[in-house]
Structure 1
Amino acid sequence: MRLYDISQLPVLEDGRVVGIVDEWDLIRHVQGDRQRFSLPVSEAMSRHVETLDKHAPESELQAILDRGLVAVIADNARFLGLVTRSDVLTAWRNRVAQ
């Protein structure tokens, strides 16, 4: 994850998001027992996922981010991507720079 500067990844099952795993989930999961790296990601992931339709208004995205969560963007329940606070800040910075 660090190699690609990614802090969160979706966990998919048949194209649908069933969880999110982030750096903190992994640290908590393997702390003190490196053998736990061999366990399924489902043991470490967070199952609480906030999903938004790709056409949802920005206000709905903001509400999710205000709760400290990552927003999963979907089209008919199919995963399209993740949006984080960092993504929003980058988008705002790019708008201002134009």
Structure 2
Amino acid sequence: MALPVLAPLAAGDLLSDILGGGTFVGKVTIAMPAAQRAAGKAGARMMAIMTVVYGVGQIIGPVLAGSLYAQSHSFNSALLAAAGALLLAIAVSLRL
């Protein structure tokens, strides 16, 4: 997510798109069955919770990015916030 800020060239944008966006479907495809297995009998409930969380993220992300853009007239702060959110998600996931 931070590549366009760290490497502000077309290659940085393209690599960020491939690594972040291009792998999203694969991440969801792996995460859903893994959550179902981890939750055991409550697997369907866990998948529903994950679907809601993904949906909320799809709503909040653009709103937050738009707000940050309005303040700085640059997407750098939004991209760094997204990278921070991903790092937080990694830390939370490792604790589970």
Same fold (TM over 0.5): no
Query: Greater helix percent: which structure?
Result: 2
TM-score, normalised with respect to structure 2: 0.30
TM-score, normalised with respect to structure 1: 0.29
